[in-house]
A and B are shown apart, each in its own frame.
Chain A
Amino acid sequence: MSSNAITIQGLEVEEKPWVDSLHQWVTTVDHKRLGVLYILYALVFLLLGGIEALIIRIQLMHSHNNFVSPQLFNRMFTMHGTTMIFFVAMPILFGFANYLVPLMIGARDMAFPRLNAFSFWLSALGGFLLYFSLVGANGLYGAGNAPDVGWWAYAPLTARAFSPGHSTDYWTLALLVSGFGSIGTAINIIATILCLRCPGMKLNRMPLLVWLNLVMAGMLLIAITPLSAAQIMLLIDRYFGGHFFDAQAGGSAVLWMHFFWIFGHPEVYVLIIPCFAFMSEIIPVFSRKPIFGYPVMVAATVCIAFVSLSVWAHHMFTVGMNSYANSFFTITTMAVGIPTGIKIFNWIGTMWGGRIQFKTPMLFSIGFLFQFLIAGLTGIMMAAAPFDWQLSLSYFVVAHFHYVIVGGILFALFAAFYYWYPKITGRMLSERLGKWHFWLFLIGFHLTFDVMHIPGLLGMPRRIYTYEPGRDWDTLNLIVSIGAFIQAIAILVFIWNLISSYFNGAKAGNDPWDAWTLEWSTSSPPPAYNFATVPVVASRRPLWDLKHPEDPDSLYD
C-alpha cells in the first residue's frame, strides 16, 4: 500500500487566459476531465428535460386545459423521454464510470483515452442534433419542428406519410450518433477493467462498482446494436424506398417494436446497474461494514444481465402475441425480480448490525432502497400479462417507470454526487443544502409519482394532451403537477449547492468519509495521472487494511 502515503497535490497551474483553459478542456483525453464533461453536459440536458416535464404537467393540471397545443404537447413528451434517457441518464452514468473506474482499480487512465474523448464528443453531437431539430426540422408543408413520435417512435408513425419534414430524422440521427459513442464507451470500460487493474487486484477483489460497470458495458454492447440497426433501417425506409416497417407495403410495424424493446429493456438495466454500483459503495461506507455477500452480489448482477436480455416483449403484451409468448415473457420478467430482490436483501444485510451515519449520500441511498422496492413490486404486477393489459399504456406504467428512473436512478445519482463531489472538486457539498434538497425532492417525488399510479388505474392513458372532465382524474393530476414543481425547486437547490460549494465548500481532504476503496487514497482532486506510484492491493478494501493493520481484510481473502 505504498500509494496511500502519496499525497501529491494537483499540479500547480499558473493562471491562464480562459481561452487556453477552454482549449484544454475541449481537447482533453484525461478520463477525469471527460468524466466531468459528461456530467456537466448531462446536467444541462437535465434542466432542458425538466422544463419539458413542467410544460407537460402544467398542461395536464386540469381537464380541457389549453396551455399548449396538442402538437406541442406531443413534441414535449417525445423530447422529454428522449432527452432524459439518452442525454441525461446515459451520459451522467458514463461520466461517473469514466471518472471512478480507473481510480478504483488503481489505473492512470482509461485503456483508450482518445477513443474516450471521441465517444464523449459523439454523444454531445447526438444531443446537439436532437435539439437542432427545433430550428432545422421544418421541411415540407405541415411539418413540425421537434420530433413528435414518442420516444419509442413506433412504426408506422415514423413513416414519411405520417411524419413529414425532418423532425424524425433528427431523432434518428441523434440516437444513431450517440449510440456509436455509447459503443465506444462500452469497449473502453471493458478494456480498462480487464487490462489495467493494479497489481493484486484480482477480479474477485474489484470494488462492486467496477464489477457492475463491467456488466453494464457488456450489456450496452449487446443492446445498442439492434437500436442502431433499427435506426439505419428506418432511414432506409424514409429515404431509400425501403419497406422494413411500412405495413402498407408488406413491412411490419411489430418488427420495429421488437428491435426497439430488445434494446429498450436491457437499457433499463444499463441505467440501473451503475446505480446498484453506487449503492454497493455508499451503503457499506455509511453503515461502517463491508458489503454483505459480495460474491452473491456479483452473481446476481450477471444473472440480471442475462435474464434481462430475454424480457423485452413484456413491453408488448398488448400487441397481440399468442398465449405462449405472453406466458414466456411473464416468467422471464418475474424471474428477473429474483436477483434484484437478492440485491435489496444484501443492502439491508449490509446495514444490519452497522453504525449507520445519516449523511446526505446515505439519505438518498435509503430513499433509493425504499423506492426501488416499490418500483420492483409494481413491476411484478405488470409482469402478470393480463394485469398488464389493463395497466400498460396507462398512467400506471408512467408512474412505475418514473419510480425506477427518478425514485431509483436519480436518487442513486444524487447519492453519488454528494459522495464523490469532494473527490472530484476537493470541496464538500453543503450538508445543510443537501438535507433541504433531499427532503424537498422526497416530498415532491412522492406527491407526483405515488399519486400518478391512480389515474392509470382509473383508465387514464398516457400521452394524451388533455382529458375529459368527470372521470375523477382532475384532482389527482393537479396533485401530480404540484409535486413536479416541488421537485423542480429541489433541483434548483441542488444546482445551487453544486455551484456555491465549489467556491465556498469546506476542504474535503483525501478521504472525507473514512472510506475503503482506492480513489480515496489519492488527493482530491486527483492529480493528472491519479497515482504517483501504482498501488498494490491485497483485499477488496485496501484502505481498511491500511487503517486496521491489526485486523486487515487480507487475512480472510
Chain B
Amino acid sequence: MFALSSVLLPPRAVAEHSHSPLTSVFSPESTPAKSIFDLSIFVLSITGIIFVVVFTLLVYSILKFRANSANADREPAQVYGSNQIEMAWTIIPILIVVVLFLATARVIHAIQDAPEPVGAVEVTTIGHQYWWEFRYPKLGIVAANELHVPVSDPSRPTPTFLQLLSADTDHSFWIPELAGKTDLIPNHPNRMWMDPHRTGIFLGQCAQYCGAQHAKMLLRVSVDSPQDFEAWVRGQQQLAVQDPSAMTGRQVFEHTACINCHTVSGTPADGRFGPDLTHLMSRTTIAAGAAENTPENLRLWIQNPDKIKPGSLMPAMKLGDADLDAVVKYMETLR
C-alpha cells in the first residue's frame, strides 16, 4: 500500500507550488511530457488495479488458510491444479498486455515520429565532460549550459528540435517537465523536441553517468516569451564587448592557456574544449550550474575549479592575485 501511495504522492506535491522550478515527471509543461504523463496515468491505473486484486488474494489466503490448533494435525486436501483456472489467469493478462501495448505504441509514434514544422528552432546540443554546448546553426549563436527556447503557443507552435551529439562520453539530456530523456552518444546523433507551453525556468541535469562530475552537469532551460527570445538572440549574435577598462585582464586571458579551451568571439581566443565565454555574463550560473554567476564565484572558479567542482576538467590556472582580479574583471565585461 505504501508503494502505491508513494506513486500517487508527487502530483499533489506539485499542485501546491506549481510555479517554482521543479523537476517532477508529473507536472508536464510541454506536449511530449504531457503525452507521457497521460500514458503514465493510464499505466498506473491498470497496474494499480492489478496490484489491488492480487494483493487482496494474497492477504486473503494468508489470513484464511493459516494453520491453527484445530487443523494443524491433518493435511489439507491435496489439489494439484486446474486447467480452467490456469487458462483464465493466462488469457486475462494477455488481454491486458495487448491494451497496454497499443496505448504505448501510439505515444511512441506520436513523440518520436513527429515531423519538424517549418518555424521550429533548431539547437545542436553537444554533451561535454561536464557541461553542455548549445549551438543554434540557423541563428549563428553558441551558448553553454543555459538553453534558451521560445514559448510555444499551441495555436501557432514554435517547437524546439534538439540534435544531440557528444564530444566525449555518453550523456543524457533530461528536463522532466518538458520531455523524457534522450542520450547524447558519440558518433550516434539523436533527436528530441519540446514545445514549452509557459515561460519560466526549467531545471534538469545529465542523466547518463559520464565521469567524475556527472552530478554537477546541471541543465537550465529558460523558456522566453517571443519578444524576450528575440532580444536574447540579438544579444548573443553580437561580437564580444571590447571594454577598454578591462584591457589588462584581457591581456592576461589571451596570454595564458585560457584561449586554448575558450572562445571569445572577435578576439584570438577560439578554443572549443570549454564553454564559449563571449556572453558569459548573460548566464545566471557558471560551471554547468554548479555555482551562481557572481564575481566571487568566478574568482574562486578560475583560481581553483576543484573547490566548486572537484574532478572538473578545467585546470587551476595558478594566477597571481592581481592577474586573477584582472581576469575576473574582464569576464564581468563579457555581457
Name A residues whose Cβ lies closer than 8 Å to a Cβ of B: 69-71, 74, 148, 150, 154-157, 162, 247-248, 250-254, 287-290, 292-296, 318-320, 322-323, 326-327, 330-331, 334-335, 337-338, 341-342, 344-346, 348-349, 351-358, 366, 369-370, 373-374, 377-378, 380-381, 383-394, 446, 450-451, 453-454, 457-468, 471-472, 548, 551, 553, 556
Contacts and interface: CB of A to CB of B under 8 A. Distances in A.
A43 B61 CA distance: 34
B65 A352 contact: yes
Contacts of B213: 70
A289 B104 contact: no
Query: Lowest 5 CB-CB distances: which A-B pairs, in order?
Result: A389-B180, A459-B23, A464-B215, A247-B186, A320-B190
A344 B54 CA distance: 9
Contact of B36 (A288, A390, A551): A390
B96 to A, nearest CB: 9
Contacts of A70: 212-213, 215, 310-311
B227 interface: no
Contacts of B7: 453, 457
A157 B210 contact: yes
Contact of A386 (B44, B77, B104): B104
A179 to B, nearest CB: 23
Given A320-B191, A323-B108, A389-B180, A355 B76 contact: yes
Contacts of A369: 58
B6 A71 contact: no
Nearest to B164: A320
A353 B47 CA distance: 27
- The size class of the interface chain B forms with chain A is 35 or more
B93 interface: yes
A454 B9 contact: yes
Contact of B104 (A384, A391, A472): A384
B7 to A, nearest CB: 7
Contacts of A548: 75
A383 B96 CA distance: 13
A466 B215 contact: yes
Nearest to B100: A334
Contact of A319 (B26, B185, B191, B311): B185
Contacts of A451: 6
A389 B37 CA distance: 11
A374 B179 CA distance: 26
B188 A253 contact: yes
B76 A318 contact: no
Most buried by B among A389, A465, A466: A389
Contact of A374 (B51, B176, B214): B51
B47 A380 contact: yes
A312 B91 CA distance: 25
A71 B309 CA distance: 12
A378 B7 CA distance: 10
B239 interface: no
Interface stretch (B79-87, B142-150, B252-260): B79-87
Contact of A390 (B86, B94, B181, B188): B181
A466 B39 CA distance: 31
A374 B55 CA distance: 9
25 contacts: A150-B209, A162-B129, A250-B187, A288-B67, A288-B76, A294-B80, A294-B81, A318-B183, A318-B208, A335-B97, A338-B97, A349-B81, A351-B65, A353-B65, A366-B62, A370-B55, A373-B54, A384-B39, A387-B104, A389-B36, A389-B180, A392-B181, A459-B176, A461-B207, A464-B205
Interface in B123-165: 129, 164
B85 A381 contact: no
B105 interface: yes
B43 A381 contact: yes
Contact of A330 (B40, B80, B82, B108): B108
A152 to B, nearest CB: 9
Given A351-B62, A354-B65, A323 B112 contact: yes
Contact of B188 (A252, A337, A342, A394): A252
B209 A154 contact: yes
Given A338-B94, A390-B181, A446-B2, A353 B79 contact: yes
A457 to B, nearest CB: 5
Given A150-B209, A294-B80, A356 B67 contact: yes
A326 B181 contact: no
A320 B108 contact: no
A459 B174 contact: yes
Contacts of A334: 97, 100-101
